[in-house]
Structure 1
Amino acid sequence: MNLVFGSPGRYVQGTEVLAQAGTYLSHCGRRAVVVIDSYVLGLIKSRLDETCAQAEVELHYVNFDGEITADGIATLRKAAAQIDFDMILAVGGGKCIDAGKALAHSSGRALVTMPTVASNDAPTSKNYVVYDAHHQLSEVGHLLVSPRYVLVDTGLIAQAPRQFLLAGIADALTKKFEAEQCFKSGGINMFGARPALSGLALARECYQVIRQHAEPALAQAGSGEVTPAFDHLIEAVLLMSGLGFESGGLSIAHAMTRGLSKIPGAQQQVHGWQVAYGLLVQLVLEDRDAVLMGDLLSFYQRIGLPRNLAELGVSSFDEALLMQVAEPTLKAPHARNFALLSGGPLTCAELIAAMRALEGLAH
């Protein structure tokens, strides 16, 4: 099987990136559809208009305040069909970034992403997630090519509330352990290929940067101030995490979102919370030593991540509810990127046993 490593065309991070956006967009064309929500539009429109006017790039704003559903994407495509455009600029959080990707997928135009929060690594990746009307995952779409540019204005992201950055930390934290499992089990990465050592190395470094800088960076979140710790953390959450999971691969932690999104309490939580919980279950399945588990559980407690089902919003559970989580989890493609110590495929009974064991560890 071929080894495949993928990445955006260029990743640009700094405190003045928004003011330089027009220059980067001009490398992709002269007319851009801007997929953006109403709040972010009010936050950045004047500055974006100014930089693009200087670079002679024409902007056509299309508001996206809805959900990433088939209907929401169809409405966006219909609005964009009225515009003659060379490229798509997706601005905002995960929803607008994914909406921009869906439009890029159907139009074949170049995609530029500009995150205004660091709540996940969507800006650097080629895939996007579509949900049904009940906010259950229905489809994962894949662009043929990664974003042309990822424009990360850390000054803008530093204004966002703490909970957005915490969600991004939670999502990025898992990548080292998932990439290691994918590599160990002979699994496949997000390109349907053999995992790249480069992806694994980035996922491991991502974890080290998070453990070193997460707590001081979280203390700065919302202040608008960009410290070295904050800057390093944003690179880990957006770039290292994105490259690590796409080229290194995913495993149980992300597979569990398929099941957790189907049960009350957990389904209302952000993606980062679900995978943070899923990581702990994965580590129990790996029979990790007490020192590592204790260290990670302590870290979760200090920064405010869920260590058990109750903290994930699940007020009570029985065997039937745990089975509701286990069955869809094991049907997820990422679940195959896992090697049990005993050998053989992971079963629902083993996954449920790990969830129950975690309950005992996290009190």
Structure 2
Amino acid sequence: MNLVFGSPGRYVQGTEVLAQAGTYLAHCGRTAVVVIDSYVLGLIRERLDTTCAEADVALHYLTFDGEITADGIADLRAAAAGIAFDLILAVGGGKCIDAGKALAHSSGRALVTMPTVASNDAPTSKNYVVYDAHHQLSEVGHLLVSPRYVLVDTGLIAQAPRAFLLAGIADALTKKFEAEQCFNAGGVNMFGARPALSGLVLAQECYRVIRQYAEPALAQAGSGEVTVAFDHLIEAVLLMSGLGFESGGLSIAHAMTRGLSKIPGAQQQVHGWQVAYGLLVQLILEDRDAELLGDMLGFYQRIGLPRNLSELGVPVIDRAVLMQVAEPTLKAPHARNFATASGNPLTCEDLIAAMLALEGLTH
């Protein structure tokens, strides 16, 4: 099987990136559709208009305030149909960036992403997630090519509330352990290819940076101040995490989102919280030692991540609920990127036993 490593064309991070955006957009075309939500539009429009006017790039704003559903994407595509554009600039959080990706997928135009929060690593990846009307995952779309540019203005991101950064940390935290499992299991990465050592190394370094800088950076979140710790953490959450999972691969922690999105309480939680819980289950399935589990549970408690289903908001925890999580999890493609110690395939009973063990450790 071929090894494949993928990445954005260029990643740019700094405190003045928004003011320089027009220069980068001009490398991709002269007319851009901007997919953005109403709140962020009010926050940055004047500055974005100025930099793009200086670079002779025309902008057509399409506000997207809905959910990433088939209907929401269809409405966005219909709104863009009457515009002659060269590129798409997707600005905001995960929803607007995924909406921009869906538009890029159908139009074939170049995509530039500009996150205004660091709540997940969507800005660097080629994947986008589509949900149904009940917020259950219905499909994962894949762009043929990665974003042309990822423009990360840390000054903007430093203004966002702590909860967004915490969600991004939670999402990035899992990548080391999932990439290691995918590599050891002979699994496939997000390109349907053999995992790249480069992706694995980035995922491992991502974890190291998070553990070193997450707590001081979270203390700064929302202040607008960009410290060295904050800057390093944003690079880990957006770039290292994104390259690590796409080229290194995913495993149980992300597979569990298929099941968790089907049960009350967990269904309403952000992606980062779901995978953070999934990581703890994966560590138990790996039969990790008590020292590592204790260290991880302590870290979760200090920064405010869910350590069990109750803290994930699940009101009733019984065998029926656990089976409702386990069955879709094992049907997810990422679940195949897991090597059990026995060499036997992972079963629902294994997964349920791990979830029960976690409940026992944290109550």
Same fold (TM > 0.5): yes
Q: Aligned to 1:264, what secondary structure does the other structure show? A: coil
Q: In structure 1, list runs of 5 or more residues that go unmatched.
A: none
CA distance in 2, matches of 1:321, 1:27: 51
1:202 Cα deviation from its structure 2 partner: 0.1
Q: Which residue of structure 2 aligns with residue 218 of structure 1?
A: 218
Q: Which residue of structure 2 aligns with residue 100 of structure 1?
A: 100
List aligned pairs for 1:304-315, cutoff 5 A: 304-315=304-315
List aligned pairs for 1:61-210, cutoff 5 A: 61-210=61-210
CA distance in 1, matches of 2:58, 2:308: 49
Q: Deviations over 1:216-264 (max 9, x none)?
A: 0000000000000000000000000000000000000000000000000
CA distance in 2, matches of 1:183, 1:126: 21
CA distance in 2, matches of 1:96, 1:71: 15
CA distance in 2, matches of 1:315, 1:74: 35
Root-mean-square deviation (CA, aligned residues, Å) is: 0.3
Q: Deviations over 1:290-348 (max 9, x none)?
A: 00000000000000000000000012211111000000000000000000011111000
CA distance in 1, matches of 2:20, 2:75: 30
List aligned pairs for 1:343-358, cutoff 5 A: 343-358=343-358
One-letter identity of the residue aligned with 1:269: Q
CA distance in 2, matches of 1:47, 1:260: 40
TM-score (norm 2): 1.00
Number of aligned positions between the proteins: 363
CA distance in 1, matches of 2:144, 2:176: 25
Q: Deviations over 1:35-94 (max 9, x none)?
A: 000000000000000000000000000000000000000000000001000000000000
Q: Which residue of structure 1 aligns with residue 33 of structure 2?
A: 33
One-letter identity of the residue aligned with 1:8: P
Q: Which residue of structure 2 aligns with residue 227 of structure 1?
A: 227
Q: Which residue of structure 2 aligns with residue 24 of structure 1?
A: 24
Q: Aligned to 2:312, what secondary structure does the other structure show? A: coil
Q: Aligned to 2:320, what secondary structure does the other structure show? A: helix
Q: Deviations over 1:126-157 (max 9, x none)?
A: 00000000000000000000000000000000
Q: Which residue of structure 1 aligns with residue 336 of structure 2?
A: 336
CA distance in 1, matches of 2:211, 2:178: 17
Q: In structure 2, list runs of 5 or more residues that go unmatched.
A: none
List aligned pairs for 1:222-261, cutoff 5 A: 222-261=222-261
List aligned pairs for 1:36-47, cutoff 5 A: 36-47=36-47
Runs of 4+ displaced beyond 6 Å: none
Q: Aligned to 1:34, what secondary structure does the other structure show? A: strand
Q: Which residue of structure 1 aligns with residue 60 of structure 2?
A: 60
1:362 Cα deviation from its structure 2 partner: 1.5
CA distance in 2, matches of 1:110, 1:126: 12
CA distance in 2, matches of 1:358, 1:135: 26
Q: Aligned to 1:267, what secondary structure does the other structure show? A: coil
One-letter identity of the residue aligned with 1:330: L
TM-score (norm 1): 1.00
Q: Aligned to 2:192, what secondary structure does the other structure show? A: coil
Q: Aligned to 1:60, what secondary structure does the other structure show? A: strand
Q: Which residue of structure 2 aligns with residue 13 of structure 1?
A: 13
